[in-house]
Amino acid sequence: MSEQPAKWISKEVVLVELSRGARLMDHRNLDGHKWFDITTPNGGLELLSTGVIHQLQHDGLISSNMKFPAATYWLTERGQAAAREASTIYNRPAMTNTMSIDDEVKLLMQGTEYGDEAIAKSMTRELRARLADSAETGKPLKVYCGYDPRTSDLHIGHTITMRKLRQFQELGHEVTFLIGNYTSLLGDPGGQTKARDLLTEEMVAKNAETYARQAFKILDPARTKVRYNAEWLGEMNFLDVIKLAQNFTVQQFMARENFALRLEKNEPVFLHETFYALMQGYDAVALETDVQVGGTDQFFAILTAGRKLQEAAGQKPQIGIFIKILPGTDGVAKMSKSWGNHIPILSEPNDMYGKVMSIPDSAIPVYFELATRYTPTQVDDVRRTLAGGVNPRDVKMALAREIVSIFHDDAASAHAEHDFVTKFQKGDIPDDIQEHRVISGSLVVDVIVKLGFTKSKGDARRLIEGGGVSLDGTRVQTIQQALNLTQPVVLRAGKRNFARLIAA
């Protein structure tokens, strides 16, 4: 007997059902195949895949009598407490969608980027048609995004696609949070200038442990299916891979921008790197997805590989929703832990608030667009406010409040803002600060030396890197930061050096 198709629901939902009297059992036949089912008091039966149950066991939330061939599971004391907490979310009433199809399209296409107007129009047209069909039939769209656990923690840049998934959830559609525990062994070559290091299964498993918990700071746990792509990719044999590969040409892969650049520089492109798009493309087939959300570095895997393999399998090709890349706290490079410009979503409220306040003014609109709950109309209002000449610092404080509120709560956000204002904006600043006229766009490091606050540029650089320089109470994060003097700002270098900078 082969393993039966399994329904993936969040571990929170399983906990709540067990607390309500559902019976969870595993079954194993002589061939070693194993599956789980949960029977609710009203007789409903769901087949559950092993990943959710293994996570519950790992977290110490369920226990078992370990009988063969059928074991029964129950909640531990810790599991009962977790079930009570989860029930506050699980019992919420379903959201009511009163938006028009045009408004839905506008919301779902907010923050997207295609790089080609024809493709953007095509995806918008297909999305509108698919949403209209869903409204008419009452059948929700199947939407997913995949996340490769190549690191153990997530930052705000990772949550941009989750924010889009949440929008689909609030419109009543079916969302799957796919943990790429198989694709991450290889790593996505998209946007890479060299081959990624291969990870071990142990490294991936360790990194994946907290992914869903972190994602639920954005996603609704009761409306999220969590799946792992090893479920289907791990079962494929070499002939299966050959059958997938026959849908593509070598020229298609070599035309990818990152591969083409490497070839131009006479740098190697390894054969195994071409497998990633096949793997991600087959994820769409396995999930029978209508919409896949991804970053702008996912064009080939989603539009070429995914749609092609779905058509070959007799499925309707998915719609690609490509989200802009969120810049890091430097406002330039992609947010990345390796570049030190990231904001971890598990940051303490005060630290998160301070890091948001450190972004350059130029990045304020894109942060509102991608990292907040603001609607397209509200984001337009932010742009008009900034263009109207208000102090960008005030708008940035609203941004920091919103982001801390998302990942913590309103009370933590208000407390973080109070501490920030008390510590950085009002504390220890003398009343009579000398004014200096400076050319807007000058590097902060150069201005520090010019004003005589340090003896050399090297000293100024070290002062910045040590966190000793701020503008209007916001720490200067990088030696490349330039001044934006649309409004006067207070420069602080060290404990005693202050200057009010005005545009020359």
Instruction: Give me the pLDDT at residue 284, please.
Output: 95
Is the domain of 312 the same as that of 376?
Answer: no
Q: What is the pLDDT of residue 309?
A: 95
Q: How do residues 367-403 score in pLDDT, each as one tens digit?
A: 999 999 888 889 999 999 999 888 888 899 999 999 9
The answer to the question of residue 340 being in a domain is no
Q: Are residues 232 and 378 in the same domain?
A: no
CATH number, domain of 51, equals 1.10.10
Q: What is the DSSP letter of 431?
A: S
What average pLDDT score do residues 253-273 get? 76
Which phi-psi region, left, alpha or beta, contains residue 191 (left: φ > 0; alpha: ψ -120 to 50)?
Answer: left
d(CA 149, CA 478): 28
Residues 79 and 223 in one domain: no
Q: How far apart are CA 56 and CA 442, in angstroms?
A: 54
Count of the separate structural domains present in the chain: 4
Domain interval for residue 439? 435-503
State the Cα–Cα distance between residues 259 and 221, nearest whole angstrom. Answer: 38
85-125 pLDDT per residue, tens = 766 544 444 445 578 999 999 999 999 999 899 999 999 99
In 3D, which of 86, 154, 85 has the Cα closest to residue 346? Answer: 154
Query: 179 and 305 share a domain?
Result: yes
Percent of the chain with pLDDT over 90: 37
Taking 70 as the threshold, does the pLDDT of residue 240 lie above it? yes
Do 188 and 116 share a domain, yes or no?
Answer: yes
- Asked if pLDDT for residue 318 goes beyond 70, the answer is yes
pTM of the model: 0.66
Residue 61 has pLDDT above 90, yes or no: no
Instruction: Specify the pLDDT at position 364.
Output: 94
> Does residue 108 share a domain with residue 52?
no
Q: Does one domain contain both 282 and 351?
A: no
Domain presence at residue 63: yes
The rounded mean pLDDT for the chain is: 82
| 165/314 same-domain check | yes
Question: Picking from 137-146, 229-238, 246-255, which range would have the lowest pLDDT averaged per residue?
Answer: 246-255
Q: In this predicted structure, what is the pLDDT of residue 200?
A: 67
150 pLDDT above the threshold of 80 = no
Three-state SS at 353: helix
Calculate mean pLDDT across residues 132-146: 93
- Final residue of a domain: which of 425, 448, 464? 425
pLDDT value of position 197: 55
Lowest mean pLDDT among 34-38, 70-74, 500-504: 34-38
Q: Which of 90, 111, 135 is the last residue of a domain?
A: 90
Last residue of a domain, one of 71, 90, 109: 90
